[in-house]
Structure formats: C-alpha cells, structure tokens
Amino acid sequence: MMKYNLKKGSDVVIIAGAHKGKKGKILKVFRETQKVLVEGVNLRKKHLKKTQENTTGSIVEREMPIHYSNVMSLVEAEKRAQKRSAR
C-alpha cells in the first residue's frame, strides 16, 4: 500500500496538465485508483436523465478526479518558490 501525503481538506496546487497552476481543496481521495478530487478543477459536463426527483433532466458541471502525481501541497509549492527566488 502506498503512502499519501495528501488528505481530504488539504490545500493543493496543480503542477501538471491542462489545469496547471490552479489551486483548490481536496474533496476526496481515491486510494485504489491513486486519484484525488480537487474543488473547482477538471470540471466536466454531466447529462442527467429525467427521473421522478429530477423531472426536467439537466446538464451539471462536476469535478472529475486527477492523478495524485499531478498535485502538490500548497505549503510545499510555496517552499519551492522561496528557494527559487533566493537564488
């Protein structure tokens, strides 16, 4: 089993991919697939079918999971930025 330094509620920054540089809070960690769900990042449109509860049907935007290797703790990112500016 792998050790994760990322936990639910942690502030993170995206370090790779289309959303590089965005910041958010971890909503959920999926250990078996090695992915995390970050608030406001990697939004996708989901079409909902008509049901008794949802009588009209709709299109909603949801966060989709991203691989944990593309995410870094905000504290660690700030430490790296300070090291680079000190050079």
In the chain, where the domains are located? 11-81
Q: Which fold has domain 11-81?
A: SH3 type barrels. (2.30.30)
pLDDT in tens, 26-69: 999 999 999 999 999 999 999 999 999 888 999 999 999 999 99
**Distance (Å, rounded) from C-alpha 85 to C-alpha 49?**
51
**pTM of the complete model beyond 0.75:** yes
Confidence of residue 82 (pLDDT cuts 50, 70, 90): confident
Q: Mean per-residue pLDDT for 59-83?
A: 91
Cα–Cα distance list, 70 to 13, 22, 35, 52, 85 (Å): 9, 11, 9, 39, 23
Upper half-sphere CA count for residue 14 (Cβ side, 13 Å): 22
